[in-house]
């Protein structure tokens, strides 16, 4: 098991139903939504697929989760890679991020 610096377990086997997306001036993109399973601890840096209506449209690397969870149960992750933010905005409610567990990850 991989751990954060404060010893919380992290993993990448998750799905996020995206409810909002926004772009920062430094070109990073943030995704906000609810994560399944809901008890998922911390999303670590990993590859993920962006799905619209269940169809993969793009694969990119997530930087991981900086803030673990809001009181409303929302989570957020960011990527530094180019993402079609307008496509995601048009697809809210039908857009999912699916984490891809890395092969051979080593414990911290």
Q: What's the rounded Cα separation, in Å, for the pair 74 and 6?
A: 21
What's the pLDDT score for residue 72?
78
Confidence band for 2, pLDDT divided at 50, 70 and 90 = very low
Structure tokens at 27: 């070109």
Percent residues over pLDDT 90 in the chain: 51
**C-beta of residue 84 within 8 angstroms of C-beta of residue 10:** no
Residue with tokens 């990073």: 28
**C-beta of residue 48 within 8 angstroms of C-beta of residue 63:** no
Residue 86 backbone zone (phi > 0: left; psi -120 to 50: alpha; other: beta): alpha
Say yes or no to pLDDT of 105 above 60: no
- 0.85 cut: is pTM over it? no
- What angle (nearest 5°) sits at the alpha carbon of residue 100, between those of residues 45 and 86? 80
User: What is the gyration radius of the CA atoms in the chain, in angstroms?
Assistant: 13
Q: Which domains does the chain have, with CATH numbers?
A: 11-100 (2.40.30)
Residue by residue, DSSP assigns 58-74 as EEEEE-B-SS---TTS-
What's the pLDDT score for residue 108?
36
Say yes or no to pLDDT of 32 above 70: yes
């Amino acid at each position: 098991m991989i751990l954060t610096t404060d010893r919380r377990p992290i993993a990448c086997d998750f799905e996020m139903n995206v409810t909002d997306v926004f772009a920062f001036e430094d070109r990073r993109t943030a995704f906000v939504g609810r994560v399944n399973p809901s008890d998922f601890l911390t999303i670590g840096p990993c590859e993920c697929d962006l799905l619209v209506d269940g169809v993969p449209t793009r694969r990119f690397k997530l930087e991981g989760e900086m803030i673990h969870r809001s009181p409303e149960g929302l989570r957020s992750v960011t990527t530094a890679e180019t993402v079609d933010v307008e496509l995601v905005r048009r697809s809210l409610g039908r857009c999912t991020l699916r984490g891809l567990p890395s092969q051979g990850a080593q414990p911290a």
